[in-house]
Structure formats: structure tokens, C-alpha cells
Amino acid sequence: PQALPQTGVPVIEVDADLTTVQQLARLLPALGERMPISAAAEVFAQTFDAVLCDLDGSLIDSTASVTRCWRRWAAHYGVSDEALQANHGRPARVLVASLIAPALRAEAAARIERMEVDDAGGVRPVRGGAEFWASLPEEKRAVVTSGTVPIASARLAAGGLARPAVWVTAEQVARGKPDPE
């Protein structure tokens, strides 16, 4: 008997936890829409001693995971979506401190960290992120993130990216984003 030809339909995943704008940012490149990059751009003519990479959104696409976890966390503590969105992008300890009563802060911070570590299994590198990371000499690269070591470790592992020898995490800074520390 003759083997049947392989058939297939390209599949592009869409995550319902993302906004329409976030979904389009994923879908358009998957459909071939790309931003033009000029090889003549000044950055390509420069030499750098090392490269510091943000993790979430730069190397790892964790947006849906972060959104899911923080929504569940907010629902558990009765925090409104508006209050959550107004504080988005800040280190978890800062966000928790601004939204939760002092007596519950330690538990609330531990809960969101557990949730984000547990949900990290589905994250993937951003397009080209794994290749970019692998192209950098190990001694010349670092991860700089407002996430904690457990969260960053879980996301790097899920994305198949090697853990860096050098990184700066939330535990190492007194003031998080947007402070340049």
C-alpha cells in the first residue's frame, strides 16, 4: 500500500488571557509581517563589553502567564483590575505592598511567587530570543529582571535558555522599576 501524503495546517496559538493588541503583536509576525530593520543602524556599528537582557518580553514571552497569575491573585485578595493595572510592571513586593494590608503582605507575596513559578511551564522564548541568547558568550551576558530568582529560573528553564552566570533580580535591588538601580 502507498503511504498517504502528510497534510497539515499551520497553527498559530492565540491566548485568550492577552489583550487584542498583545495578540496582534504575536500574530502579525507569525503571518509574515515584520518591522524593517536597517543594517545601517548605528547600534550595529558599536562594540559592547557585555549585554544585559531583560527577561520578560525580551527573552521570554511570559505575558499571558503573568496576566493569568496576577488576575487570579487579585481575585483571591479582592483587588480590582483597575488597581492591578495601575501598578503593572513594578516588582511584586512593591505591587503587593501598595495593594495589600500589612498583615497579609508576606503571604500575598509568597502566593504570587508560587503562582508564577507554577505557571511558568507554558512560557516560550520570544521570536529569536533563544538564538540571540545562545549567540552571546556566556561571560558577556546577564539577565536583569524585576522578577525573583525562582521565577526567573523557572521561566528560563521552560524556555530552554541556559541560566546565566550573572543576573540581577528583585532580591538584589532596593528600588525596582522604573528606578535605574
- Per residue in 75-93, pLDDT (tens digit) is 999 999 888 888 777 788 8
- What are the two backbone dihedrals, phi and then psi, of residue 143, each rounded to the nearest 5 degrees? -105, 135
pLDDT of 70 > 90? The answer is yes
- Higher-confidence residue: 177 or 138? 138
Whole-model pTM: value is 0.82
Residue 180: predicted pLDDT: 72
Using pLDDT thresholds of 50, 70 and 90, give the confidence band for residue 164. Answer: very high
- Higher-confidence residue: 58 or 12? 58
Q: How open is the CA angle 36-37-40, to the nearest 5 degrees?
A: 135
Residue 1: predicted pLDDT: 67
Q: Which of the residues are catalytic? A: 54, 56
Helices (H), the chain: 20-30, 63-77, 81-86, 92-99, 105-119, 129-135, 149-158
Strand-pairing partners, residue 124, are 61
Mean pLDDT (whole number) for 50-72: 92
Separation CA 53–CA 166 (nearest Å): 11
